[in-house]
């Protein structure tokens, strides 16, 4: 008897794991995210790419599921796995796969619209009472959890490197087998987008995870590391993420946008260089810095004008 392709998702204390078993090749595609990240990516990062990938899947339909799976391996959004999984049994009928794609896109849009409200209006920093806010937005309509079972966390080794979102290809996995020694967890086997979204939504609501706007890139992220966290873990420049360079970059932006601070820093570098050239002593430099800071603060508070401060710096 042929094993059907299957898709599952579960959330631990630190990670969100999405896995697709492809029965044709007996391999698993695995996406691993930090806890609280998948819906923020779903809302703000994946939408443009999703449209392109769905078009590619439509082009590959007549060439077989292997081509679709090759496409899925390159994407960051595990929601799209559901489309490939459901299309596998629909390829013999032209009407059925067109209807499947239309329905999938409609569900994807509906889930994304609800997720935007969830993250920005319910699980946001300003929400004082999560229960009251949830009632105001959804009128006591709880997510319907389908295809969820309580099982030990799967025994397959996970990617604990911390690099995410990560798409991994694991050959010959023990997809269904679980280790009895592992802790129990809710595991969802969704058959459509809304089932998957409702499961994630229920996890976020029950854990009351709070979402903020990153002060560097401006995108939503889950503040699971504490309420003082101001930056997300998205890649910003090269291999650097916002959390690594956020504070310094924001400070640099502040300097560039503030003419008073910019003028002071430029003059500071000029006078500091004079010590190396021997035209100013360290004691003279310290005296200058003390007076320059006093005048800078006076200018910032409006006690002296910017022109007056600039004239003094030029002396």
Last residue of a domain, one of 170, 185, 209: 209
**Is residue 300 domain-shared with residue 172, that is, in the same domain?**
no
**Is residue 23 domain-shared with residue 151, that is, in the same domain?**
yes
Last residue of a domain, one of 209, 235, 266: 209
In a domain, 201, yes or no: yes
In a domain, 1, yes or no: no
**Is residue 106 domain-shared with residue 200, that is, in the same domain?**
yes
**Is residue 58 domain-shared with residue 168, that is, in the same domain?**
yes
**Is residue 12 domain-shared with residue 138, that is, in the same domain?**
yes
In a domain, 228, yes or no: no
**Is residue 121 domain-shared with residue 204, that is, in the same domain?**
yes
In a domain, 106, yes or no: yes
Last residue of a domain, one of 209, 224, 243: 209
Total domains present in the chain: 2
Yes or no: say if 65 and 95 are a contact pair by the CB < 8 Å rule. no
**Is residue 196 domain-shared with residue 266, that is, in the same domain?**
no
Tokens (6 digits) for 260: 């008073």
CA distance 315 to 310: 9
**Is residue 40 domain-shared with residue 174, that is, in the same domain?**
yes
In a domain, 241, yes or no: no
Tokens (6 digits) for 219: 């995108």
Q: How far is CA 259 from each of CA 136, 297, 315, rounded to the nearest angstrom?
A: 45, 13, 18
Which residue(s) pair with 80 in the sheet? none
Can you say how many angstroms the Cα of residue 186 is from the centroid of all Cα atoms in its chain?
22
**Is residue 199 domain-shared with residue 262, that is, in the same domain?**
no
In a domain, 119, yes or no: yes
pLDDT by 10s per residue, the chain, length 315: 345 678 899 998 888 999 988 766 677 888 999 888 999 999 999 988 888 888 888 877 766 666 677 777 778 899 998 888 877 766 555 556 778 888 999 999 999 999 999 999 999 988 888 989 999 999 878 888 888 888 877 655 333 333 433 344 443 334 444 444 557 888 999 989 999 999 999 999 999 889 998 887 888 988 887 667 788 888 777 777 787 765 666 566 666 667 888 888 888 888 888 888 888 888 888 888 888 888 888 887 888 888 887 888 887
Domain span at 268: 258-313
Closest to 8 (Cα-Cα) out of 86, 87, 75, 78: 78
**Is residue 135 domain-shared with residue 30, that is, in the same domain?**
yes
State the pLDDT at residue 162.
Answer: 38
- Dihedral sign of CA atoms 233, 235, 238, 239 in order: positive
State the pLDDT at residue 277.
Answer: 81
Tokens (6 digits) for 237: 């420049």
Across the beta sheet with 148-152, what order do the strands follow? Answer: 148-152, 184-188, 6-11, 15-22, 27-34, 166-171
CA distance 5 to 118: 31
- Dihedral sign of CA atoms 97, 31, 192, 135 in order: negative
In a domain, 239, yes or no: no
**Is residue 269 domain-shared with residue 202, that is, in the same domain?**
no
**Is residue 264 domain-shared with residue 199, that is, in the same domain?**
no
Closest to 108 (Cα-Cα) out of 19, 190, 17: 190
State the pLDDT at residue 262.
Answer: 80
State the pLDDT at residue 89.
Answer: 63
In a domain, 229, yes or no: no
């Amino acid at each position: 008897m042929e094993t059907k392709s299957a898709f599952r998702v579960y959330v631990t204390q630190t990670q969100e794991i999405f896995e697709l078993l492809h029965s044709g090749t007996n391999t698993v595609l695995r996406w691993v995210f930090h806890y609280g990240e998948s819906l923020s990516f779903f809302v703000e990062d994946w939408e443009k790419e999703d449209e392109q990938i769905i078009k590619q899947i439509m082009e590959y339909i007549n060439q077989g599921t292997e081509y679709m799976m090759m496409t899925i391996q390159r994407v960051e959004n595990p929601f799209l796995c559901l489309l490939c999984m459901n299309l596998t049994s629909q390829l013999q009928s032209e009407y059925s796969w067109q209807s499947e794609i239309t329905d999938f896109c409609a569900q994807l849009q509906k889930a994304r619209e609800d997720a935007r409200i969830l993250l920005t209006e319910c699980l946001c920093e300003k929400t004082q009472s999560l229960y009251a806010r949830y009632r105001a937005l959804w009128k006591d309509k709880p997510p319907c959890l389908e295809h969820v079972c309580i099982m030990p966390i799967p025994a397959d080794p996970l990617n604990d490197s911390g690099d995410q979102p990560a798409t991994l290809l694991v050959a010959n996995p023990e997809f269904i087998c679980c280790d009895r020694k592992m802790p129990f967890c809710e595991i969802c086997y969704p058959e459509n987008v809304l089932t998957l979204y409702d499961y994630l939504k229920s996890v976020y609501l029950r854990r009351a995870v709070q979402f903020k706007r990153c002060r560097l890139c401006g995108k939503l992220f889950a503040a699971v590391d504490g309420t003082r966290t101001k930056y997300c873990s998205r890649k910003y420049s090269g291999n650097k993420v916002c959390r690594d360079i956020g504070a310094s970059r924001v400070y640099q932006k502040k300097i560039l946008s503030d003419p008073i601070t910019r003028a002071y820093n430029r003059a500071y570098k000029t006078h500091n260089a004079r010590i190396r050239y021997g035209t100013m002593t360290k004691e003279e430099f310290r005296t200058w810095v003390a007076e320059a800071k006093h005048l800078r603060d006076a200018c910032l508070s409006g006690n002296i004008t910017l022109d007056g401060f600039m004239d003094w710096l030029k002396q």
